[in-house]
Structure 1
Amino acid sequence: MKPVEALEIAILVDNTTDSLSSNPDFVETEFAFLRRHGMKWLSGKCLCCAAHGLSCLITTKTAGTSHTLLFDTGPDEWVFERNVTRLGVDLGSVEAMMLSHGHWDHGGAMPRALQMITQANGGRNVPVYLHPEMFALRGTRTKDGGIFPMEKVPSVDVLAGCGGDVVVTRDEQSALDGAFHISGEIPRVTAFERGMPGQHRQKPDGSWEKDELLPDERFVSVHVAGKGQVVFTACSHAGLINVLLAARARFPDVPLYGVFGGFHLSGLTEAIIPETVAALAQFDLKLIAAGHCTGWRAVNALSDAYGSAVVPSAVGKYYRL
């Protein structure tokens, strides 16, 4: 992983919209960004749409060159296309795409995203990084003993047909001239992080088995010179602490600087908020951009513990490091 001089993160999809809360100087809100780019009237017709999901456009800059990776696409092509259009994003600059794990709220818009990217870049195919375990039919167990299924993520054939050069692997990858590290499978070492309680997956014979650990989940890391690693964790089903431990172990000479994404400390996993908040202290993070599935209770607890380091994610926000 080569150090980069600067890093820009555009939040294309997130659960929350928030242009009113105060932010540090390196963060620009949706309202401010749109006004700076010509919005003359504050109107709903100009704004992005919040939705349950996550998509981050990550751009590195070094010595006059830049590289852009699309990290997840959110749940729905309408939301993705609306937000990209409202923000005036040039998808032709996207050189690679990664799906963090096999859930619909992160991969539902992948086909449309690939279509938009290849339309903007002159028809060039785009590498798409996937894990082999993310294509199964998944669901959660209901109170009556049944299964409530989730929409499957798009298949390799569908993505290839939309312009993706699909890379399906369990192994870590170095992408875009070493600017991005895409992790392999995340070791589960903490005692309190146990995945997604109640999730099941369908076996080939049609029966269901527990699938709470989500081995297909991976993170992305970027080394910003003079700061350290910035880690992107989409849902932290592996556990936020496990993710950060893995990133630190993989690059022990590069300190952790910040983390972006959903920390999945809502619903059944609210019980581990205290352990997670306490364990986070070991990393001395300067930026905690909690979003998506983190949940308001966890954001409050993180803010109480880490103060100004907590700068919650919201759709349309730009972070420049």
Structure 2
Amino acid sequence: MQPIDQLEITVLIDNTTDSLSSTPAFVETEFAGNWRRGMKWLSGKCLCCAAHGLSCLLTARTGGAAHTLLFDTGPEEWVFERNVVRLGADLGAVEAVVLSHGHWDHAGAMPRALQMITQHNGGKPVPTYMHPEMFALRGIKFPDGGVRPMELVPGVDILTGSGAEVVVTTEARSILEGAFYVSGEIPRLSGFEHGLPGQHRQTAEGVWEPDELLMDERFVAVHVAGKGLVVFTACSHAGLINVLTEARARFPDIPIHGVLGGFHLSGETEAIIPQTVEALAPFNLALIAAGHCTGWRALGALAAAYGDKLVPTAVGKRFRL
């Protein structure tokens, strides 16, 4: 990875909307961004829609050059398109798309997102990075033995037809002139993070088999000069501590400045909130930007432990690091 001068993060989709809470100087709320772009009336007709999912637009700047990456697209096209338009986001600048893992709440809007990008970039194909296991039919198995299936991730044919140049790989790589690092599979080392309880996937023979570890999940990292790594983890099914441990292992000489995304400490994974909060301390993070699937109990515990280092994400927020 090459160090960059500045990183701008625009939260296109998140579970919450919050323009009233105070924020540090490097974070702009949705309301503030709208006023800056010329909103004259405070009105719901100007605002984004919160939805269960995550999508972030990441722009890395060095000197006069900039590279932009779309990290996930959220659950469905209507929310994605509405929020992009209302935030004035420049999709024509997007040079690559990364899907963090194979769940509908991160992938549902991918076809429309690719169409919007190519409509604004002159029709150029968009490198789109996928893990081969993302395309499996997944579901959650309940105590009665029944499986509730999830919407499929769009297939290679659909993505290609929407403007993608699909890159299916399990390997880590740096992209866009080294501005972004896309991880490979994340080792499970913490001992207390065990994935998504109850998740199964369907085999080619139509049999449901356990799939709690979600080995297709990956993170993205950026090296901001003078600060360190900023790690993007969309759902942390691998475990937040496992994600940060792998980032530190790959770049041992670069401190981790912050982490942004969903930490999935809600529902059945609430049991590991105390261990996660404690294990986070040695990383000495300056920014903990938690949102999406983190859950209110985990947010409360993180706030109690780390104070103003916790800056919850919300749709429309813009971080400048």
TM-score, L = length of structure 2: 1.00
Q: Which runs of 5+ in 1 are unaligned?
A: none
Q: Which residue of 2 aligns with 1:23?
A: 23
How far apart in 1 are the matches of 2:274 and 2:181? Answer: 30
Q: Which residue of 1 aligns with 2:275?
A: 275
Moved segments of 4+, more than 2 Å: none
* 3-state secondary structure, aligned to 1:56: strand
How far apart in 2 are the matches of 1:142 and 1:278? Answer: 31
How far apart in 2 are the matches of 1:148 and 1:196? Answer: 14
Q: Which residue of 1 aligns with 2:36?
A: 36
Q: Which residue of 2 aligns with 1:266?
A: 266
Q: Which residue of 2 aligns with 1:147?
A: 147
Q: Which residue of 1 aligns with 2:233?
A: 233
How far apart in 2 are the matches of 1:8 and 1:88? Answer: 14
RMSD of aligned Cα (Å)? 0.5
* 3-state secondary structure, aligned to 1:82: helix
Q: State whether structure 2 residue 207 is matched by structure 1 residue 207.
A: yes
Shift of 1:63: 1.1
Deviations 1:229-278 (A, max 9, x none): 00000000000000000000000000000000000000000000000000
How far apart in 1 are the matches of 2:12 and 2:110? Answer: 13
* 3-state secondary structure, aligned to 1:307: helix
* 3-state secondary structure, aligned to 2:306: helix
Shift of 1:173: 1.3
Q: Which residue of 2 aligns with 1:57?
A: 57
Shift of 1:302: 0.4
How far apart in 1 are the matches of 2:95 and 2:134? Answer: 22
Q: Which residue of 2 aligns with 1:297?
A: 297
Q: Which residue of 1 aligns with 2:253?
A: 253
Q: Which residue of 1 aligns with 2:69?
A: 69
Deviations 1:21-75 (A, max 9, x none): 0000000000000011111111111100000000000000001100000000000
* 3-state secondary structure, aligned to 1:303: helix
How far apart in 2 are the matches of 1:172 and 1:94? Answer: 20
Shift of 1:142: 2.1
Count of residue pairs the alignment pairs up: 321
Shift of 1:145: 1.2
Q: State whether structure 2 residue 305 is matched by structure 1 residue 312.
A: no
Q: Which runs of 5+ in 2 are unaligned?
A: none
After superposition, where does 1:111-130 map in structure 2 within 5 Å? 111-130=111-130
Shift of 1:144: 2.2
How far apart in 2 are the matches of 1:249 and 1:208? Answer: 34
Amino acid of the residue matched to residue 201 of structure 1?
R
* 3-state secondary structure, aligned to 1:25: coil
> Percent of counterpart pairs with the same letter?
73
How far apart in 1 are the matches of 2:252 and 2:2? Answer: 14
Q: Which residue of 2 aligns with 1:175?
A: 175
* 3-state secondary structure, aligned to 2:230: strand
How far apart in 2 are the matches of 1:182 and 1:144? Answer: 38
Deviations 1:79-130 (A, max 9, x none): 0000000001110000000000000000000000000000000100100000
* 3-state secondary structure, aligned to 1:197: coil
Shift of 1:143: 3.3
How far apart in 1 are the matches of 2:136 and 2:305? Answer: 38
TM-score, L = length of structure 1: 1.00
Amino acid of the residue matched to residue 268 of structure 2?
L
How far apart in 2 are the matches of 1:50 and 1:18? Answer: 10
How far apart in 1 are the matches of 2:131 and 2:156? Answer: 11
Q: Which residue of 1 aligns with 2:110?
A: 110
Q: Which residue of 1 aligns with 2:243?
A: 243
